[in-house]
Structure formats: structure tokens, C-alpha cells
Amino acid sequence: MRRSLSRRRLLAASVPGLLAGCLVESGDGGDGVAEPDAGADGGESESDAETGTDEGTDSDGSTADRSEPDREGTDQVDDDSVPDAVGPDGSGLVVANAEVLDVADEGYETTVDARLTVENRGRFTYGTVEFRADAYATRPNSAERDSAGFAYDTERFPSGNRFGDGVRRFDVSITFRSRETDVPADVDWYEVDAAVRRAEPV
């Protein structure tokens, strides 16, 4: 007949079971503690992300605000820049009148002298202006006219006498072969038209 287990042996056998239960409970408790830490870290990251987004937006806005005046300044520089030369349409120079002063028949050649009245209605001041003047043979009380000849005239304006705002008058001479026309050498039988070909601002 087997003897009953002693009290000491029963206690020794039950200790490992109790220790195992403690280890299980300790592991469950550790998981519970770790979760709040992870949540706290996640909250701080989200806050930092929001702060960075706001700062980036403000930075972009500031750059946009600063770039607008810069663009306006660039446009202003372009508007105020002075080109080397301008054509007839962009010069602002207008030949308001071309008056025939004299017609001289020299046998082989005929010369028509005229005076041009030119207005500067543009925004530039000029140092050089080139004109083309055309002479036409006409008939009194008639709209018909025949081209007789043309000439180029270049006017230069030194420092202190630049062609700015206002009106200037220039004399031009147009010489052509007399056989080109069959009208008398008289101011009433000739007309002159003129236009700006090129102008150099300063």
C-alpha cells in the first residue's frame, strides 16, 4: 500500500504552477503598459506634422508675396528700357506737314526743296532720325499725280539739342532727272510726302 505524499512534497509540486501563472499575468500587464506609450508617440508625430504643414504654408505664402513686387519691378524695367532703334510705328514721330518751298530746273536735273514739320508724340528722346521724302508731279485741280523721285534725309541731334517733346522743322532736297516729268518747274505743280524710316532713342 502506497504512502500518502507528504505536505512538503505537495508544496514543492505546486510552486512551479504558481510561478507560471505569475509570468502569464506579468506579460499581459506589460502589453497594456506599452500601448499608451505608442499612442503618446503617435500623438506627438501628428502634432509635429500639422505644425510643419502650417509652417510650410506660411513660408510659401511669404514667398508669393515677395515675388509679386519682384515681377512688377521686372516689368517696370522692361517698360523703361530704351531700344537701340525703333521703326515708324513705334517712334511716335509724325510728319504733320510737308511744304514745297522751291522747284529748280537745272536742265538735266530738277530739284524740289521742301520743309518737313515733325512732331514727337512718343515717349523717347532721339539722337538720330532718318526720313524718306517723295516728290510727285501734279496738276492743279486734279487728284492725279506721278512719282518724280525720292531722297533720304538723316537728322542728328547732339547732346543738349536732343529731339524730345515738341515740334521740329527740317529742310530736304529731292533731285531727279527732268525727263521724269513733263510739268513746269513750279511749286504749284509738285507735292512732297515724307515719313520716318528709322529713329534712334538716347
The residues pairing with 119 across neighbouring beta strands, listed in sequence order, are 94, 167
HEC states along the chain? CCCCCCHHHHHHHHHHHHHHHHHHHHHHHHHHHHHHHHHHHHHHHHHHHHHHHHHHHHHHHHHHHHHHHHHHHHHHHHHHCCCCCECHHHHCEEEEEEEEEEEEECCCEEEEEEEEEEEECCCCCEEEEEEEEEEEEECCCCCCEEEEEEEEEEEECCCCCCECCEEEEEEEEEEEEHHHCCCCCCHHHEEEEEEEEEEEEC
Q: What pTM value is reported for the model?
A: 0.60
Instruction: Residue 73: count other Cβ atoms within 10 Å of its Cβ.
Output: 10
* CATH class name, domain 88-201: mainly beta
For residue 189, the model assigns a pLDDT of 96
6-10 long-range contacts (CB < 8 A, ≥24 apart) are none
For residue 87, the model assigns a pLDDT of 86
Listed by start position, the domains of the chain span 6-81, 88-201
Question: What is the mean pLDDT, run by run of 10 residues, along the chain of 202 residues?
Answer: 51 51 48 47 49 48 48 47 87 97 97 98 96 96 94 97 96 97 95 97 95
For residue 40, the model assigns a pLDDT of 45
